[in-house]
């Protein structure tokens, strides 16, 4: 187990290097001048341009710049934005918000999604099953920005249940509505995945054995069927949580949340290459770690998978 974790962590090194390089190359290949508009209506003075370019290594060849960047990264330095702000500080501030949002979305998906899936799965073909199928289909079919804007209008503007937009240091309650919006799509998938797997496993031989053992129906389903049925759901939710931790550009924009997604969007917009690479590098690492956790959890749920 420990060996497995170490091996996986070591495997992350080439993945991080490779992916950051790709992002690095792509971001700096984007057309556009970071200095455009920096000095008002007129072009910047040549001396300022020269200093700015030198400070951000903009005239070095790509590889050299990448290695300089990697060197800084190893010291835990993600660099500074073109505005001279420390990227690590910026990200930390925004990450608190993104993590809160992701946790709300994840709890919503996991609890309500699995519950709906179980109810539908054990009553396959009945009313509750059809209700879940239709509702989830509707959620899947509607784009996030529609769900987001509509719920903002209904629950925020009209009913005043939730704040319409999110303030700069949001609490859990401020982020509740955006979290639910963010989680709704994956909730629909999680519910359907749970339903299908549960309904399938209910026909398995070992479930018949559990019935033959004289166990109660709740135990047959809750203990003997659910465990196997949740393995693919956990995989899905884990990967999804990794994605959620990368921020949610659309939801963050609708509710004016200053999270990581918005930060990346803004940085791409202002051609701030260093900030983009810094943020994305961190996302890559978070995603890889989430995947590792999912794989470890997989081994806990299914003893046939061994990590020795």
Partner 1 sequence: MSAAAVKTGSMSPYHAQDGLLLEVENLHVEFHTRYGVAKAINGVDFSLRQGECLAILGESGSGKSVTAQAVMGILDMPPASIPAGSVKYCGHDLLTMPEDRRRKTRGPEISMIFQDALSALNPTFPVGWQIAEMFREHRGMNKSDAYAQAIKLMERVSIPAAKERVKAYPHQFSGGMRQRIMIAMAIALDPAILIADEPTTALDVTVQAQIMSLLQDLQHERQMGLILITHDLGVVADVADRIAVMYAGRIVEQADVRDIYARPAHPYTKGLLESIPRLDLKGQELAAIGGLPPNLMKIPPGCAFNPRCTMAQDVCRVDLPPLVEVAPNRKSACHFSKEVLGA
Which residues contribute to the site for partner 1 (CB under 8 A)? 203-206, 208-216, 219, 224, 227-228, 301-304
| Minimum CB distance to partner 1 smaller for 49 or for 207 | 207
Least separation in angstroms between residue 106's CB and partner 1 is: 24
Rounded Cα–Cα distance for residues 275 and 80 (Å): 7
Least separation in angstroms between residue 245's CB and partner 1 is: 29
* CA-wise closest residue to 117 among 103, 131, 107, 105: 131
Distance, C-alpha 296 to centroid of its chain? 19
* CA-wise closest residue to 166 among 88, 243, 248, 237: 248
| Minimum CB distance to partner 1 smaller for 192 or for 224 | 224
Rounded Cα–Cα distance for residues 15 and 286 (Å): 12
Least separation in angstroms between residue 227's CB and partner 1 is: 5
* CA-wise closest residue to 120 among 139, 136, 101, 107: 136
| Minimum CB distance to partner 1 smaller for 201 or for 251 | 201
Rounded Cα–Cα distance for residues 55 and 217 (Å): 69
Rounded Cα–Cα distance for residues 123 and 296 (Å): 32
Distance, C-alpha 143 to centroid of its chain? 17
H/E run at residue 145: helix 144-151
| Minimum CB distance to partner 1 smaller for 56 or for 224 | 224
Least separation in angstroms between residue 181's CB and partner 1 is: 35
| Minimum CB distance to partner 1 smaller for 253 or for 307 | 307
Least separation in angstroms between residue 13's CB and partner 1 is: 34
**Is residue 228 within 8 Å of 298, Cβ to Cβ?**
no
| Minimum CB distance to partner 1 smaller for 36 or for 219 | 219
Least separation in angstroms between residue 122's CB and partner 1 is: 13
Read off the tokens for 85.
Answer: 């702000």
**Is residue 264 within 8 Å of 276, Cβ to Cβ?**
yes
Least separation in angstroms between residue 307's CB and partner 1 is: 14
Read off the tokens for 43.
Answer: 């072009």
| Minimum CB distance to partner 1 smaller for 208 or for 269 | 208
């Amino acid at each position: 187990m420990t060996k497995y974790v170490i091996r996986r962590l070591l495997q992350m090194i080439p993945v991080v290097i490779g992916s950051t390089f790709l992002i690095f190359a792509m971001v700096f290949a984007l057309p556009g001048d970071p200095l455009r508009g920096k000095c008002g209506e007129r072009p910047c003075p040549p001396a300022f341009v020269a200093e700015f370019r030198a400070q951000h290594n903009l005239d070095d060849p790509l590889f050299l710049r990448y290695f300089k960047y990697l060197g800084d990264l190893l010291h835990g330095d993600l660099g500074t934005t073109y505005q001279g702000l420390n990227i690590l500080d910026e990200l930390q501030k925004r990450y608190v918000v993104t993590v809160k949002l992701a946790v709300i979305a994840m709890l919503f998906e996991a609890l309500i999604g699995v519950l709906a899936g179980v109810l539908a799965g054990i009553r396959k073909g009945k009313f509750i099953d059809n209700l879940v199928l239709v509702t989830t289909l509707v959620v899947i079919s509607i784009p996030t920005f529609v769900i987001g804007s509509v719920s903002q209008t209904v629950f925020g503007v009209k009913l005043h249940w939730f704040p319409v937009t999110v303030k700069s240091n949001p609490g859990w309650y401020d982020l509740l509505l955006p979290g639910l919006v963010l989680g709704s799509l994956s909730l629909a998938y999680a519910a359907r995945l749970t339903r299908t797997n549960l309904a399938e496993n209910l026909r398995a031989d070992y479930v018949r054995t559990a019935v033959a053992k004289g166990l109660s129906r709740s135990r047959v389903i809750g203990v003997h069927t659910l465990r196997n049925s949740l393995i693919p759901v956990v995989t899905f939710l884990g990967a999804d949580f990794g994605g959620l931790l990368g921020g949610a550009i659309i939801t963050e924009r609708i509710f004016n949340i200053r999270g990581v997604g918005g930060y990346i969007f803004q940085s791409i917009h202002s051609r701030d290459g260093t900030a983009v690479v810094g943020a994305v590098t961190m996302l890559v690492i978070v995603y890889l770690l989430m995947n590792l956790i999912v794989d470890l959890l997989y081994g806990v749920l299914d003893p046939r998978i061994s990590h020795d």
